Structure 1
Amino acid sequence: MYVSEQEVRAVLTYETLISAILQALIDYSAGRVQQPPRMILRAGNADDHRNGWFGVMPVVSGDVMGVKTVTFYPANDELGLHTHMAIIALIRRATGEPLAVMDGRLITEMRTAAVSAVAFSGIAPLHFDTAPTSFGILGSGVQARAHIEALKHVWPEMRDIRVSSRNASNAARLAEETNARAVAAEEAGAADVVLTATTSPVPVLKGSWLKPNALVIAVGASGASLRELDDDAMLSSYVVAEGRACVERESGDVLLSGAKVQAEIGEILADPSIARIPRDQRVVFKSVGMAIEDITAARLVWMSIASRTAEQ
């Protein structure tokens, strides 16, 4: 069975994905997921910023196994193409039978935002005395839009959405379409909750802009030599990782600043009573993307399509 992006879009919703991702992150932190390190190969298609990479992400979890192959070509937006594209193969764990091959671009988009929504729902009640209301976004691409949509499912108090981007016209367009405001980076960085969703290789968020108890959700610039947050932002924060080993291996924000990961989100979700999330310090949630999230979303898609097929 091949599942196109159009078919994925027709059946995958944030309502089901967020709850499934929450359990997947708990399972990952509890050691119930087999997930080796992501393997990345440079495409060698160019000697400059156009050079892309090809990643392979296998995982075994629950009743399925699978692998995502993903590409990232940073110059694709200049060609009117998506910068990230992917294919996911889903396999039955009990027998090794192939279940489906599906387009993974939208799954990657949605699972990234769903992970952030899950992290927000786990961290915010422990961190803020009262529900935050302002949301600052650095970046105006696919992930900026996806995060606004996903976070609305877990953050009804969100009122003031601020968008900043190096591309002012993109920021203005996104702001108009999402009832947000296009602002300078400093104003976006001064919100209660700040999202960094860029491909910048150098910091775009300064610690000096942040509120003393800001929550930062950092999802862009995945790579050991890339970073979105400066040293002040990282070293003044309590750092929560999507997956400790993954972030410590692949996040330039952590590696280049020398910041220490102090908790894993799955641990916090499993038992909030043991979490030590500070109320008087900044918190950074850093994610780099994990195969367990892709397979969790792919399984939801496959189950929905299989159920509809059986009813026909």
Structure 2
Amino acid sequence: MYVSEQEVRAVLTYEVLIPAIRQALIDYAAGRVNQPPRMILRAGNAEDYRNGWFGVMPVVAGDVMGVKTVTFYAGNDELGLHTHMAIVELIRRETGEPLAVMDGRLITEMRTAAVSAVAFAGLAPLHFDSAPSSFGIIGSGVQARAHIAALRHVWPEMREIRIASRKASNATRLAEEVGARSVPVEEAAAADVVLTATTSHVPVLQGKWLKPNAFVLAVGASGASVRELDDEAMLSSYVVAEGRSCVERESGDVILSGAKVEAEIGEILAEPSAANIPRGQRIVFKSVGMAIEDVTAARLVWHALQ
């Protein structure tokens, strides 16, 4: 069975995806998921930033197995194409039978935002004395829009959204769509919660702009040699990883700054009373994307179509 993006969109919702991702992250931290490192090959299609990459992400979890093949081409923006495209194959673990092949672009979009929503819901009550109200976004693309939608499911106190982008016109357009304000990057960075969702290879968020107890969701900067946050932002923060080994291996924000990963989100979700989340220090939640999240979403789609 081939499942198109339109079919995925018709059945996959944040209401079911967010709790499923939460459990998947707990299972991953508990060692119940067999997920080898992502393999990445450079496409060699260009000598500059347009040089794309091709990733292969397998996983075995629960009653299914799966693999996502994903491409990232930063230059696609200029062509009017998505920068990320993907395919997910879902397989029955018991027999090895292929269950479905489905378009993975929307799955990637939604699971990334769902992971951040899970992290916010788990960490914010441990970090803030009272619920935060302002949300600053650096970036105006797919993930900016997806994160607004996902976080609204777990953050009813969100009152103000500030959007900054390399192209001010893009920030203005998104702000008009979602009821936000287009602002300079320093003002977006001064919010209670800050999202970095760009394709930049160099830092777009400086620590000097952040509140002393800011909560940063860092989801861009794909690769060990690129980053979105400067040294001050990283080294002044308590760093929580989506998956410790994945982030330590693949995140330029962590590798290039020398920051230490203090905890893994699944551990905190499983036992929040044991977490030592600081209230007076900044938090950075860093995600790089994991196969368990893609297969979790694909499994939801598969069952919804039965």
1:284 deviates by 0.2
Shift in Å, 1:47: 1.2
Q: Distance in 2 between matches of 1:48 and 1:209?
A: 30
Residue of structure 2 in register with 1:293 after alignment: 293
Per-residue CA distance 1:67-111 (angstroms, 9 max, x = gap):
000000100010110000000000000000000000000000000
One-letter code aligned to 1:193? V
- What RMSD, in angstroms, separates the aligned Cα atoms of the two structures? 0.3
In the alignment, the residues of structure 1 paired with residue 56 and residue 291 of structure 2 have an alpha-carbon distance, to the nearest angstrom, of 9
Deviation, 1:56, is 0.1
Cα distance between partner residues in 2 of 1:23 and 1:185: 34
- Post-superposition CA distance 1:31-65 (Å, at most 9, x none): 00000000000001111121100000000000000
TM-score w.r.t. length of structure 2: 1.00
SS at match of 1:51: coil
Equivalent position SS for 1:254: helix
- State how far apart, in whole Å, the 2-side matches of 1:91 and 1:162 are: 42
Q: Displaced runs of 4+ in structure 1, greater than 6 A?
A: none
Q: Which amino acid aligns with 1:221?
A: A
**Alignment of structure 1 residues 199-278 onto 2, 5 Å:** 199-278=199-278
Tell me how far apart the structure 1 counterparts of residues 222 and 269 of structure 2 sit (CA, whole Å).
24
Question: Partner letter of residue 145 of structure 1?
Answer: R
1:222 Cα deviation from its structure 2 partner: 1.5
* Amino acid of the structure 2 residue aligned with 1:24: A
SS in 1 for 2:298: helix
Which residue in 1 is equivalent to 2:196?
A: 196
Task: Note the C-alpha offset of 1:174.
Answer: 0.3
CA separation in 1, counterparts of 2:296 and 2:93?
A: 14
SS of structure 2 residue aligned to 1:137 = strand
1:101-149 superposed Cα distances (whole Å, 9 cap, x missing partner): 0000000000000000000000000000000000000000000000000
Q: 2:85 aligned with 1:89, yes or no?
A: no
How far is 1:213 from its partner? 0.3
- Please list the CA deviations of residues 192-241 of structure 1 after superposition, one character each: whole Å capped at 9, or x if unmatched: 00000000000000000000000000000120000000000000000000
Residues 20-169 of structure 1 aligned to structure 2 (within 5 Å): 20-169=20-169
Counterpart of 1:223 in 2: which secondary structure? coil
Identity of aligned residues (%): 83
- Gapped runs of 5+ residues in structure 1? 307-312
Deviations 1:149-206 (A, max 9, x none): 0000000000010000001111000000000000000000000000000000000000
What is the CA–CA distance in structure 2 between the aligned matches of 1:152 and 1:295, rounded to whole Å?
24
* 5+ long unaligned stretches in structure 2: none
SS in 1 for 2:66: strand
Partner of 1:309: none
Partner of 1:181: 181
Quote the Cα distance in structure 2 between the aligned partners of 1:71 and 1:157: 36
CA distance, structure 1, for counterparts of residue 239 and residue 127 of structure 2? 13
Aligned to 1:17: 17
The 2-side partners of 1:206 and 1:47 are apart by: 29
Aligned to 1:7: 7
CA distance in 2, matches of 1:155, 1:52: 35
Give SS of 1:75's match.
helix
SS at match of 1:94: coil
TM-score (normalizing by structure 1)? 0.98
Output the amino acid matched with 2:257. S
Q: C-alpha separation between the residues in 2 aligned to 1:97 and 1:131? A: 46
- CA distance in 1 between counterparts of 2:211 and 2:78 reads 35
Counterpart CA distance in 2 for 1:296 and 1:134 is 30
Aligned partners of 1:93, 1:167: CA distance in 2, in Å?
Answer: 46
The yes-or-no answer on 1:302 pairing with 2:305 is no
